[in-house]
Amino acid sequence: MDKKYIVLLTDFGNDFYVGQMKGVMKNICKNAEIIDLTHNINPQNVLQAAIIIDVSYKYFPKKSIFVCVVDPLVGSNRKIILVKKEGYIFLAPDNGLLTKIISCDAKIYKVVNNRYFLKNQISYTFHGRDIFAPVAGFLARGIKIEKICKRIDKKEINYIYFPKVEIKRYKNKTYFFGKYLFSDNFGNIITNLKIFKGNLDKFFLYVYYRNKLYYKLKLKHFYSEVKKDELLALINSFNYIEIAKNCGDAYKEFLKKFKDFSQINFVLVKNG
Determine contact, residues 241/165, Cβ cutoff 8 Å.
Answer: no
User: Is position 227 an interface residue for its own copies (rule: CB under 8 A)?
Assistant: no
SS3 track for 49-86: HHHHHHHHHHHCCCCCEEEEECCCCCCCCCCEEEEEEC
Q: Which is nearer to its own copies, 5 or 206 (CB)?
A: 5
We find the least distance from the C-beta atom of residue 114 to its own copies, in angstroms, to be 17
Stretch of 83-91, 106-114, 140-148, 222-230 contacting its own copies, by CB under 8 A: 222-230
Contacts of its own copies in 140-199 (CB under 8 A):
184-187
> Between 119 and 138, how does the x/- string for binding to its own copies read (CB under 8 A)?
----xxxx--xx--------
Cα 179 to the center of its chain, rounded Å: 16
Cβ contact 150:203 at 8 Å: no
Closer to its own copies by Cβ: residue 80 or 108: 80
Contact between residue 189 and residue 209 where contact means Cβ atoms under 8 Å apart = no
Taking the complex as a whole, the smallest distance from the CB of residue 44 to its own copies amounts, in Å, to 5
Question: Are the beta carbons of 175 and 268 closer than 8 angstroms?
Answer: yes
- Beta carbon nearer to its own copies, 139 or 241: 241
Provide CB contacts within 8 A for 123, sequence distance 6+: 129, 130
- Residue closer to its own copies by CB (options 46, 111) is 46
CA atoms within 13 A on the CB side of 202: 11
Q: Which residues would be at the binding site for its own copies (CB under 8 A)?
A: 3, 5, 7, 9, 11-20, 22-24, 26-27, 30, 33, 35-40, 43-44, 52, 56, 59-61, 64, 72-76, 123-126, 129-130, 184-187, 221-225, 234-237, 246-247, 249
